[in-house]
């Protein structure tokens, strides 16, 4: 792992980081690494598997199609899977009636 030296950290900031680390029962170094990691995730652009601007369930077909095209063929993030499912469910009127045991046995899905 890389090492970084950070100079001129305000005393108030360092005190808050120490308090947060103590509350969580970990070292100051671990707290700083966690804060930096959270900051990176909050400000970095979406990458493969990360959430993008998702159309609402009531969005028109064209908006949903444009959103799918913007993904460039990458896999959905968990949030995107839920949004896509909600969009399709809103269009289909929700899940249909469950299959009977006979229909499942006969393969009529």
Here the contacts of 81-85 (C-beta below 8 Å, separation 24 or greater) are 83/54, 83/55, 83/57, 84/54
How many angstroms separate the CA atoms of 17 and 104, rounded? 58
Whether the predicted pLDDT of 49 surpasses 50: no
The average pLDDT across 9-28 equals 90
Q: How high is the pLDDT of residue 41?
A: 53
Whole-number mean pLDDT of the chain?
A: 77
pLDDT of 45 over the 60 cut: no
- What is the pTM assigned to this prediction? 0.39
pLDDT band at residue 3 under the 50/70/90 scheme = confident
Compute the average pLDDT of residues 24-53. Answer: 69
């Amino acid at each position: 792992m890389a090492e970084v030296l950070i100079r001129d950290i305000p005393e108030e900031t360092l005190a808050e980081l120490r308090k947060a680390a103590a509350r969580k029962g970990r070292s100051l170094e671990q707290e700083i690494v966690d804060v930096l990691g959270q900051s990176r995730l909050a400000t970095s652009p979406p990458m493969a598997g990360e959430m993008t601007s998702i159309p609402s369930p009531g969005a028109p077909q064209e908006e949903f199609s444009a959103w799918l095209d913007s993904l460039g063929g990458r896999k959905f993030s968990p949030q995107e899977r839920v949004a896509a499912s909600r969009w399709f469910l809103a269009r289909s009127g929700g899940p249909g009636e469950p299959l009977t045991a006979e229909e499942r046995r006969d393969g009529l899905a």
